Structure 1
Amino acid sequence: MRIKKFDRIEPDERKALLVKSTIRSLAADGYAGLSVRKITKEANVSQGLLNHHFGSINALITYAYFDISKRFLESIVAQVERCEGSASDKLDAFFRCNFADDYFDKELLKPWLVFWSLIRDSAEMAEAYEVSNGKVEEILFSLLTAISEEDKLINVDISLATQGLMAMLDGLWVRQCLAPEHISLSDSLQVCRNWTKAYRAGVFTAS
């Protein structure tokens, strides 16, 4: 339901509306098609509110990126914490959430490409990226450390394994968006499970 022109809404709700509008605009037209007018018209708020809350479109894009990352990470953490099995089971819960139908949205590819493209030129976006990915890295590093302890693996390069796993997850997500006819969500999940088997077999053991 669209909000009437003069309805009063709370600041947090205004921000949420602007974020949703930004994501929809990016998904439809990419960065080139983004404008203050288009975002605020879609959100049904005044153009002055965007400047009041964020100051610029790029600041709003950064906030939108951080908001999406935060909500997705919270859902993953909840899934992992609900898992009462071994560290390997918890890592599998992470994978299942990452490639679940409820969370996977290929329409987010354009927004994510915009987010990533801004990292090199925007200090704010680079900081948001480091914070968001740093939290994912902490979770994976902790789970891989626990697996190593449970399986009594020795001299495992957990840092390298964590970075490799993060790169694989990003790659699978992009591949899934670009060529879903070649790899399904269940295929991506199986690739991750095979990676876990390889990790537990000692492929990241330092020589």
Structure 2
Amino acid sequence: MKEKKFQRYDADERKSSLIKSTLNCLKLDGYAGLSVRKITREANVSQGMINHHFGSIDSLVINAYDAISNEFFDQTNALIDSHKGSASEKLIIFFRSYISEDNLDPDLMKAWLVFWSLIRNSQDMASTYEYVNEKIETLLNNLLLNISKEEGLDITDTSLAAQSLIALLDGAWVRTCLSEKNLPPENTMKIFMKWLEAYKLGVFS
């Protein structure tokens, strides 16, 4: 029997490949994708590479969560920064990005369910979650503050509004991923726009 030959990569390529393979396995198999054998086979590297580069499969999963979260944040933030319009328009860009076709991929939800399930049992995952959540909250908080300034709203403390919006975004995303028939993206967008309308009417004043 011929010995399987693994592809040779440099360290950064191997780490990137393992992270990508982890996401692919979780999208395909959910919790069952948390397998060293499956992940390394997908990446075409030896099983020892996970411990070599990440120390454990748990650390690899945390890195995968960090990677996919940062990818969404960086892409969305770039779209917002490049837009020259109002703060309201920039927030709408965020809404659209949140329910884009790629972000509403039902298979992607399998990976997120795994990530969320690890938060209670892993301090490292909990810390990463808090870090990611803080970045999103800060972005939304700044957008809401700018909306208040541009439109002369009497809302100086937007923290509660930003937290409320995150809860709405997450809940609507889950429901839309579970069944676009029951909550199609266009209705999800209407809900987001109604929230923005309520914000401007002073719900959080």
What is the DSSP-based 3-state SS (H/G/I as helix, E as strand, rest coil) of the residue aligned with 2:149?
helix
- Aligned partner letter, 1:123: Q
Cα distance, 1:34 vs. partner?
2.1
| 1:144 and 2:169 are equivalent in the alignment | no
> Given the superposition, is the C-alpha separation of residues 155 and 76 from structure 1 closer, same or farther in structure 2, using an over 3 Å criterion?
closer
Number of the residue aligned with 1:178: 178
- Structure 1 counterpart of 2:121: 121
Separation (CA, whole Å) in 2 of partners of 1:28 and 1:100: 20
Letter of the aligned partner of 2:122 in structure 1? S
Give TM-score, length-normalised by structure 2: 0.93
Deviations 1:72-115 (A, max 9, x none): 10011011111111111111111111112244322111110111
* Structure 1, unpaired ranges of 5+: none
Go from structure 1 to structure 2 and tell me whether the alpha carbon gap of 1:199 and 1:66 turns closer, same or farther (over 3 Å shift).
same
The offset of 1:163, in angstroms, is: 0.3
In structure 2, C-alpha distance between the alignment counterparts of 1:182 and 1:163, rounded to whole Å: 25
Tell me, what secondary structure is at the counterpart of 2:45?
coil
Structure 2 counterpart of 1:18, one-letter code: L
What is the rounded CA distance, in whole Å, between the counterparts of 2:200 and 2:180 in structure 1?
Answer: 29
Equivalent position amino acid for 1:128 in 2: T
| TM-score normalised by L of structure 1 | 0.92
SS of residue in 1 equivalent to 2:154: coil
Structure 1 Cα separation of the partners of residues 140 and 6 of structure 2: 47
How far is the alpha carbon of 1:183 from its aligned partner? 1.3
- The answer for the alignment partner of 2:162 in structure 1 is 162
CA apart distance, 1:22:
1.2
Instruction: Tell me the distance in 1 between the aligned counterparts of 2:147 and 2:7.
Output: 53
In the alignment, which residue of structure 1 is the partner of 2:195? 195
Give, in angstroms, the shift of residue 5 of structure 1: 2.8
Partner of 2:67: 67
Q: How many residues are matched? A: 202
**Contact 2:137-2:166 at 8 Å conserved across structures:** yes
Q: Deviations over 1:131-170 (max 9, x none)?
A: 1111100100000011111121114541110000000000
* Alpha-carbon contact 1:156-1:202 (below 8 Å) kept: no
Question: How big is the shift at 1:15?
Answer: 1.4
C-alpha distance in 1 between matches for 2:203 and 2:102: 32
In structure 2, what is the Cα distance between the partners aligned to 1:199 and 1:80?
20
In structure 2, relative to structure 1, the CA distance for the partners of 1:157 and 1:60 (3 Å cut) is same
Cα distance in 2 for partners of 1:183, 1:56 equals: 39
Check whether the contact 1:80–1:93 (CA below 8 A) recurs between aligned residues. Answer: yes
Q: Distance in 2 between matches of 1:156 and 1:172?
A: 26
Q: What residue number does 1:81 align with?
A: 81
Q: 5+ residue gaps in structure 2?
A: none
Q: Which amino acid aligns with 1:68?
A: I
Contact 2:148 2:155 in 1 (8 A): no
- Alignment partner of 1:16 is 2:19: no
Question: C-alpha distance in 2, partners of 1:43/1:179?
Answer: 32
Cα 1:7–1:67 shift into 2, 3 Å:
same
Q: 1:20-31 to 2 correspondence within 5 Å? A: 20-31=20-31
- The Cα of 1:171 is off from its aligned counterpart by 0.5
Amino acid at match of 2:64: A
2:6–2:45 CA contact under 8 A, matched in 1 = no
Partners of 1:103 and 1:161 in 2: how far apart? 23
